[in-house]
């Protein structure tokens, strides 16, 4: 089964677009904190939101420690 959340490659602004597998845009994350907030709004608790879990998050263009804006 594909991960329900997709974190896209970094944009020129340094943020990363975050979408659901269904194509819903959750927002543009500039940090892991932003990403966790989007996941919370999507109904996942911080305890459930393991950013390195490939069954939850598909990372495109780098993993959870790369590609964040300053």
pLDDT digits (tens, 9 = 90+) for 17-42: 999 989 999 999 999 899 989 888 88
Residue 67 DSSP code? S
Give me the residue label for tokens 């709004």: 41
pLDDT digits (tens, 9 = 90+) for 1-16: 677 899 999 988 789 9
Domain range list for the chain: 5-59
Q: Which residue has better confidence, 21 or 68?
A: 21
Give me the residue label for tokens 């269904």: 22
Q: Which residue has better confidence, 34 or 66?
A: 34
Q: Which residue has better confidence, 23 or 47?
A: 23
Strand order of the β-sheet with 16-20 is 25-29, 16-20, 5-10, 57-59
């Amino acid at each position: 089964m594909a991960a329900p959340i997709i974190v896209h490659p970094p944009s020129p602004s340094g943020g990363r677009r975050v979408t659901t597998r269904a194509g819903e845009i959750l927002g543009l994350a500039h940090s892991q904190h932003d990403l966790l907030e989007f996941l919370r709004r999507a109904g996942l608790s911080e305890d459930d939101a393991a950013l390195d879990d490939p069954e939850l998050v598909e990372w495109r263009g780098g993993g959870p420690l790369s590609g964040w804006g300053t």
